[in-house]
Amino acid sequence: MARGAIIALLLAGSASAQTPPGVYSEQRQLPGLSAPGEIVIDRAGIPHIYAANARDGFFLQGYAVARDRLWQIDLWRKRGLGRLSASFGPQFVAQDRAARLLLYRGDMAAEWAAYPADARGWTEGFVAGINAFVADVEAGRAPLPMEFGATGTRPERWQADDVVRIRSNALIRNIPDEVARARALCGGDVKYEPLRRELAPAHTVSIPKGLDPCTIPENVLDDFARGTADVRFDGQKLVVANIDPDAQEGSNNWVIAPSRSATGRPILANDPHRAHAVPNLRYLSHIDTPDLKIAGSGEPALPGVSFGHNEDAAWAITIFAIDQQDLVVNPKGTRLTEVRETIDVKGEAPRAVVLKFTEDGPILHEDPASGRSFALRVTWSKPGASAYFNATWAFKAKTWEEFLVARDHWGAPPLNLLFANRTGDIGWAPGGFVPIRAAGDGLLPVPAGKAHRWTGLLDAKLMPVKHNPADGWIATANEMNIPAGYPHMLGLEWADRSRITRISEVIAAKPKLSLTDAMALQNDATSAMARRAVALLKGLNGRDDNERGALALLGGWDGHEGPDSAAAALYEIWAARQLPVSAVKAIVPEDKRRTFGRTSIGSILPVLEAGALLGPDPKAVREGILLNSLGMAFAEATRLLGPDPATWRWGALHRADFVPALPIAGRDAERRVGPVPIGGSGSTPMAMGTGPDFRVVSGASVRLVMDVGEWDNSMAINTPGQSGDPASPHYRDLFARWATGNYVPFVWSRPRVLQEAERIIAVTPAR
């Protein structure tokens, strides 16, 4: 008997034969499944999928995802394909048109050829599983999520091409930064650029020949904002978030070699940071088949996992800041290619729209006054650049050499890829398409034409690597980590070094690190940035009660941003609201401030420390900036938190409070998760980026710590839960654990899965 048939027979009887006491069991017949299988849902809501073959494994993953996240993934697909208007009406026509500008429009055969040979079949299985659950909903065998009822909409069916054609979810840069820089230099001076944005390696900004920064319209990225934005149902204006220097998205990962590990095996930890939502961006799952076994976290609309492990090796990700975008300025009279499409509109006749392109890419804006147009040149237009999809190359990688094959194919987003396997190998291999520019550095928009064209992509084998370093560990946190002397231009705009500084000092201080140590470090709330800022206050004397009060509270503070910290509350008010204003006012001449834009403490501190921009008396200017801003911060803290600093608490301002994007009358209270006071900030390893009101808006939704080779010991947490259904016990059940730095087991072997099981769904092919 064939191996697949034996597995199918075993699975067919496994639910009744092995269902532990107290575990709920149910049966499903699913059209499109080739053999019996199981979805074992554990007490944390994580599906562990057992199937007779990989295609069925992905089918059942798609079914499980749709069972938990149907509204979320359906909305993701409609947004990405430009199909919102068909469900929600004419107010989404502009967003639909913008989304269609950003789709992959190349040859689909070339696109699929860029991925492993099995990837298309896996994806077809995955979407068939989603469609099988949609069929259950349509037939009344599964409930319709409340959001569809509230909006009078229905989920749509998927095709495999939908998954890879959508490109607008790729976190790549740096077109918003180019526009912000151009506007700052319109009537400004490049000498002040270090205050606005620190570059690394150190680099002097120069304006490309033929570019007038003043010709870049303020609204040039409106369609880019629409095409990349989440769906908003509150009518608020869309903004390009990356223009905001205070946007605190990033990620951490580190790998510990056996020589430095308390287990004697590698430990690999990852906590990617993204904007928070409910349900959140990522989904934990586990697929076990005879020909493929993987577990980890991924985007729920993609098959498999973006980071995690197979039987032999594990991998982890953080953003690596390759500059993969340029804004191209076309002169008046440039010939534009037009593509006419029809957008279906709920309650109205379909609308015809025109999409325009040049050989550089989609036209984001046309300026009627000057006749100029502005195109997006971007690596995601290339085959093989679907976001995170090249993780499929890592699913079967066992060795470092096989993992480098995955790195060689990685397109978008650009990532620090960390690796570890059960033989003890560890390594760092950043991946992502790197454009080779004929001229320039990618920091500003460029005129169209040969002088600033892209001549190709860098050979991936020329990317830097690190393999089994002598000190026994590697960590990344979006910082500039290109080795000194590396000859190729990759990017110049990186996250500040605050998180990697703290991560490195904790790891370096321990001769051996345990799984518990790794979890504690993912939840470390000490800010190296805060310590650096406080160091500048040494020796200052306050001139009034507010300044003296601020100095007394921050003097000697160790930078720990716990929720009960008064110093953290004052520091964050100072760093986010008062110090940037005071620094710009003191350093940038008044006539150059109008378009200067915003800055952040990560760029301000190097300027204050160096003193070159502070004029002939840098000490006096520095003291004036620090004292003025501290005094105003103390006054603001008094208004926000009361007159007694002893009662101030960072957690009174800094709260995790997740509210669904779609309001539903009478149901919002049960769908809201939070608020709870929480520590950390955008500059601590426990990344908790804040919005203008100090509410937590970004950070680690998923944290994963893997014991490489003894996978049953791995731990994970998602927030607020695995399910997007408020009626599910797994909608918010992980939120309190996440907020307090706790985890759940992320088990691997079948005996351990059954020990953790809550529900077993036995599935068979429909007759």
pTM: 0.95
SS3 call for 611: coil
The pLDDT value given to residue 3: 43
Read off the pLDDT of residues 96-150 as tens digits, 9 standing for 90 and up: 999 999 999 999 999 999 999 999 999 999 999 999 999 999 999 999 999 999 9
For residue 173, the model assigns a pLDDT of 75
Do residues 153 and 146 make contact, with C-beta atoms less than 8 angstroms apart?
no
Please name the CATH architecture into which domain 532-653 falls.
Orthogonal Bundle (1.10)
Return the number of other C-beta atoms located less than 10 Å from residue 102's C-beta: 26
Burial class (CB in 10 A: 0-12, 13-18, 19+), 420: buried
- Tokens 């904790």: give the residue: 506
Q: How many angstroms separate the CA atoms of 596 and 589, rounded?
A: 10
Contact (Cβ atoms closer than 8 angstroms) between residue 479 and residue 497: yes
Domain boundaries, the chain: 1-524+656-669+712-767, 532-653
pLDDT value for 172: 76
Q: What percent of the chain has pLDDT above 90?
A: 93
Q: pLDDT tier at 767 (50, 70, 90 boundaries)?
A: confident
Q: Which helix (H) or strand (E) holds 131?
A: helix 119-138
CB 499 within 8 A of CB 250: yes
Mark residue 724 as left, alpha or beta (left: phi above 0; alpha: psi -120 to 50; beta: remaining): alpha
Q: Is the pLDDT of residue 503 over 70?
A: yes
Q: For domain 1-524+656-669+712-767, give the CATH superfamily.
A: Aminohydrolase, N-terminal nucleophile (Ntn) domain (3.60.20.10)
CB 94 within 8 A of CB 226: yes
Please, are residues 53 and 35 in contact by the beta-carbon 8 Å criterion? yes
Strand partners, 673: 658
Q: Read off the pLDDT band of 5 (50, 70, 90).
A: very low
Q: Of 166, 102, 136, which Cα lies nearest the Cα of 26?
A: 136
Catalogue the E-assigned strands of 588-672: 655-658
pLDDT the model gives residue 170: 80
Q: What is the pLDDT of residue 238?
A: 58
pLDDT of residue 237: 62
DSSP structure class, residue 173: B
Q: Answer whether 271's CB lies under 8 Å from 258's CB.
A: no
Q: Higher pLDDT residue, 15 or 172? A: 172
List, for residues 225-254, the tens digit of each pLDDT value: 999 999 999 876 655 544 443 344 579 999
pLDDT recorded at residue 89: 97
Structure confidence at residue 249 (pLDDT): 58
Q: For all residues of the chain together, what is the average pLDDT? A: 94
- Whole-angstrom distance, CA of residue 717 vs CA of residue 44: 9
Residue range 59-110, pLDDT digits in tens = 999 999 999 999 999 999 999 999 999 999 999 999 999 999 999 999 999 9
- pLDDT band for 514, please (50, 70, 90 cuts): very high
Contact 587, 704 (CB under 8 A): no
